[in-house]
């Protein structure tokens, strides 16, 4: 064969069509919002294994279908990337937990506790929460008297919606040894009446005085394990039903150590895990603990697609609702309570930030008030100055109320604002009373942050707020309460579009956990995590967002939820 013949053969082979991969799953006839700027809208998607093969028109995807392919007709419904909750305190769901969310009457509050006590043995602990005193008709804090009469023999602990205050009844306080002489711990407050007696409200680090009554011994290890597995399965089913495919699980202020990945691994090993997880360590940490976190990061590395060690979560202040966030000027409605509760002295805070950053660890610090956010930015800046610049993607968890001049600092330092839009519509009921309107220009300032090129990630702060991401989408695009009040919303200049809000709940959250190269978009080569909804969030009246439901959730190419 001469050289010309060889050349001709090469031309024949190069022009021959390449064999097409066969998809395991194809979803067609959809309105696909891909969050991929190069291909923003599509009609169908082909998936093989855990990965997306192609996203395009129906005709383009047809070639990936074989007899072995499962084909789902989306019936013209909206598809988005799976939602990635960047801040959710989610493990198991306790069916006995007394949920007081949206209760407006303290009498109803007491009735719900009474109903739970009626099902409990004397001495059994009653746990609950999500109450918000600013929603009560009288807007007064509940006290132990609110529940003592309905729980004379059971310790009761009920957390405020923000998790930063709790109500304990007299039985719980007696078990904990609380008296009029019990001092306030550093960074915490025991609320008292005029005589100095504790009224039952414990704020910030004072909550730890009550905490040990939670430590009930299980009847047997086998019974305890069965209970936990059932609670975790319930939580995963619930998560999948909301179109959530990833959870970033921070520690709480009550945790003494980082999140234990044991149950994530158990469910992954059994093939039952329905969401990807980014779990966290506890800040501040000693040098020995930091070394342990470095080892944990090696065990659950960032290149793992399912279970990954994340940031170190810490707290520097409290909350707006509890009146414990850090401010530069006194609260307008409570000028005598100071400038908020710092959770540690600044120098200690800065030193531990620098030490963790030096080891290459990511940090996520809870900061609500303007002074707290300023402290966090100062500490991150000091770490960069001493350790050198790197792509740390340090985070501020919540970043709710900032001075306007601190917004560009977030962008300049590459700090991620991990925010929960639902907080805006919850807090707006009392924010102006507490802060005044002028001091809220940098509050929940999503549009200002977007315009300043701040990296944002959206989440729920469950169980403080509902886990459903559509609550957050609604809040971001309306800045109105859930009843759909008249007008343009609270500080309407800070509203986002539906598409922008979805992007921060998907690609923005993926960026916050170093996964934007393979998650957060519907794009060939990316992980096949997606959700389909029964209404087109982009075109329906905004109030209808709250009535929209996921009808299909896929994680890693596997259908984990299908609405019947």
* HEC readout, 433-450: HHHCCHHHCCECCHHHHH
pLDDT exceeds 70 at position 213:
no
Question: Tell me, what's the pLDDT at 544?
Answer: 96
From-to residues of CATH 2.30.40.10 in the chain: 3-76
What span, in angstroms and rounded, lies between the C-alpha atoms of 350 and 345?
9
pLDDT exceeds 90 at position 399:
yes
Query: Nearest-CA neighbor of 459 among 317, 278, 300, 216?
Result: 278
pLDDT exceeds 90 at position 9:
no
Residue matched to tokens 């169980």: 463
**Cα-to-chain-centroid distance, residue 171:** 33
Question: Tell me, what's the pLDDT at 1?
Answer: 40
pLDDT exceeds 70 at position 468:
yes
pLDDT exceeds 80 at position 20:
no
Query: Nearest-CA neighbor of 101 among 109, 90, 111?
Result: 109
Contacts of residue 150, Cβ cutoff 8 Å, sequence gap at least 6: 110, 111, 113, 114, 117
Other CB atoms within 10 A of residue 83 CB: 33
- Please name the fold of domain 222-560: TIM Barrel (3.20.20)
Confidence of residue 218 (pLDDT cuts 50, 70, 90): low
**CATH 3.10.310.70 correct for 102-160+164-214:** yes
What span, in angstroms and rounded, lies between the C-alpha atoms of 484 and 481?
6
Other CB atoms within 10 A of residue 529 CB: 32
> Phi/psi at 373 (nearest 5 deg)?
-60, -40
The beta-strand segments (E) located in 185-332 are 188-192, 198-204, 244-249, 276-282, 307-315
CATH architecture of 3-76: Roll (2.30)
What does the DSSP 8-state code read for residue 401?
B
- Averaged pLDDT for residues 453-465: 95
What span, in angstroms and rounded, lies between the C-alpha atoms of 169 and 429?
27
From-to residues of CATH 3.20.20.140 in the chain: 222-560
Q: Is the dihedral of CA 143, 189, 208, 290 positive or negative?
A: positive
3 state SS of 253: coil
Name the helix (H) or strand (E) containing 127: strand 126-131
Confidence of residue 321 (pLDDT cuts 50, 70, 90): confident
Locate 196 and state its tokens: 């100095």
pLDDT exceeds 60 at position 12:
no
Question: Tell me, what's the pLDDT at 14?
Answer: 39
What percentage of the chain reaches a pLDDT higher than 90?
Answer: 79
Question: Tell me, what's the pLDDT at 251?
Answer: 95
pLDDT exceeds 80 at position 17:
no
With vertex at residue 561, the alpha carbon angle to CA 557 and CA 564, rounded to the nearest 5 degrees, is 130
pLDDT exceeds 50 at position 531:
yes
With vertex at residue 521, the alpha carbon angle to CA 47 and CA 503, rounded to the nearest 5 degrees, is 145
3 state SS of 129: strand
What span, in angstroms and rounded, lies between the C-alpha atoms of 160 and 109?
12
What's the pTM value of the predicted model, to 2 decimals? 0.83
Burial (CB < 10 A; 0-12, 13-18, 19+), residue 19, is exposed
Query: Nearest-CA neighbor of 103 among 67, 128, 77, 123?
Result: 128
3 state SS of 232: helix
What span, in angstroms and rounded, lies between the C-alpha atoms of 504 and 510?
9
Mean pLDDT of the chain: 92
Other CB atoms within 10 A of residue 305 CB: 15
- Averaged pLDDT for residues 249-271: 93
Question: Tell me, what's the pLDDT at 19?
Answer: 53
Confidence of residue 156 (pLDDT cuts 50, 70, 90): very high
Question: Tell me, what's the pLDDT at 163?
Answer: 85
- Averaged pLDDT for residues 367-379: 98
Q: Which of 19-23, 337-341, 507-511 has the lowest mean pLDDT?
A: 19-23
Question: Tell me, what's the pLDDT at 299?
Answer: 97
Confidence of residue 220 (pLDDT cuts 50, 70, 90): confident
Tens digits of residue pLDDT in 80-131 = 999 999 999 999 888 788 888 878 888 888 999 999 999 888 988 999 888 9
3 state SS of 367: strand
pLDDT greater at residue 243 or residue 336: 243
What span, in angstroms and rounded, lies between the C-alpha atoms of 130 and 146?
16
Query: Nearest-CA neighbor of 350 among 324, 326, 374?
Result: 374
Question: Tell me, what's the pLDDT at 13?
Answer: 38
Locate 542 and state its tokens: 């905004």
Locate 535 and state its tokens: 């209404």
Alpha helices in 84-241 (DSSP H): 106-118, 144-148, 170-176, 221-240
Cross-strand pairs, 365: 314, 396
**Beta pairing, strands 44-48 & 25-28:** antiparallel
What does the DSSP 8-state code read for residue 183?
P
pLDDT exceeds 50 at position 242:
yes
Question: Tell me, what's the pLDDT at 212?
Answer: 54
- C-beta separation of 544 from 78 below 8 A: no
What span, in angstroms and rounded, lies between the C-alpha atoms of 65 and 58?
11
Q: Which of 366-375, 429-438, 551-560 has the lowest mean pLDDT?
A: 429-438
Q: Which of 87-91, 133-137, 264-268, 310-314 has the lowest mean pLDDT?
A: 133-137
């Amino acid at each position: 064969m001469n050289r010309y013949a060889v050349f001709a053969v090469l031309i024949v082979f190069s022009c021959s069509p390449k064999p097409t991969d066969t998809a395991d799953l194809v979803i067609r006839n959809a309105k696909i919002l891909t969050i991929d700027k190069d291909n923003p809208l599509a009609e169908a998607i082909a998936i093989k294994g855990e990965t997306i093969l192609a996203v395009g028109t129906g005709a383009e995807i047809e070639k990936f279908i074989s007899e072995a392919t499962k084909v789902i007709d989306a019936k013209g419904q909206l598809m988005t990337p799976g939602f990635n909750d960047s801040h959710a305190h989610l493990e198991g769901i306790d069916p006995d937990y007394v949920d007081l969310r949206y209760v407006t009457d303290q009498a109803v509050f007491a009735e719900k506790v009474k109903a739970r006590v009626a099902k409990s043995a004397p001495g059994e602990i009653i746990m609950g929460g999500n109450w918000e005193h600013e929603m009560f008709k009288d807007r007064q804090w509940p006290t132990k008297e609110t529940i003592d009469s309905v729980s004379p023999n059971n310790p009761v602990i009920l957390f405020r919606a923000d998790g930063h205050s709790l109500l304990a009844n007299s039985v719980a306080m007696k078990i904990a040894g609380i008296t009029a002489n019990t001092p306030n711990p550093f960074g915490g407050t025991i609320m008292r009446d005029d005589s100095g007696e504790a009224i039952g409200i414990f704020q910030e680090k004072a909550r730890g005085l009550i905490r040990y009554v939670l430590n009930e011994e299980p009847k047997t290890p086998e019974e305890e394990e069965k209970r936990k597995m059932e609670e975790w399965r319930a939580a995963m089913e619930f998560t999948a039903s909301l179109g959530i495919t990833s959870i970033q699980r921070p520690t709480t202020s009550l945790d003494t150590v980082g999140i234990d990945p044991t149950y994530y691994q158990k469910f992954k090993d059994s093939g039952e895990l329905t969401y990807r997880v980014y779990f966290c360590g506890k800040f501040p940490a000693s040098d020995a603990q930091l070394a342990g976190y470095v080892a944990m990061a090696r065990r659950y590395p960032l290149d793992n697609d399912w279970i990954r060690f994340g940031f170190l979560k810490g707290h520097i202040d409290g909350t707006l609702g509890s009146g414990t966030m850090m401010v530069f000027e006194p609260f307008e409605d409570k000028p005598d309570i100071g400038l908020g509760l710092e959770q540690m002295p600044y120098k200690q805070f800065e030193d531990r930030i620098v030490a963790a950053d030096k080891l290459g660890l990511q940090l996520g610090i809870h900061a609500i008030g303007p002074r707290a956010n300023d402290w966090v930015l100062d500490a991150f800046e000091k770490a960069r100055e001493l350790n050198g610049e790197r792509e740390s993607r340090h985070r501020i968890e919540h970043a709710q109320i900032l001075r306007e001049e601190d917004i560009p600092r977030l962008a300049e330092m590459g700090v991620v604002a991990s925010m929960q839009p639902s907080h805006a519509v919850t807090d707006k009921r009392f924010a102006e009373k507490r802060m005044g309107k002028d001091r809220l220009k940098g509050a929940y300032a999503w549009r200002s942050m977007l315009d300043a090129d701040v990296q944002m990630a959206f989440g729920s702060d469950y169980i403080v707020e509902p886990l459903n991401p559509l609550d957050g989408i609604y809040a971001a695009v309306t800045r109105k309460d859930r009843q759909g009040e008249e007008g343009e919303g609270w500080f309407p200049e800070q509203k986002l579009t539906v598409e922008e809000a979805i992007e921060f709940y998907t690609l923005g959250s993926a960026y916050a956990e170093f996964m934007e190269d393979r998650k957060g978009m519907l794009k060939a080569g990316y992980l096949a995590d997606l959700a389909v909804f029964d209404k087109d969030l982009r075109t329906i009246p905004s109030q209808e967002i709250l009535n929209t439901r996921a009808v299909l959730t896929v994680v890693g190419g596997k259908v984990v939820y299908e609405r019947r």
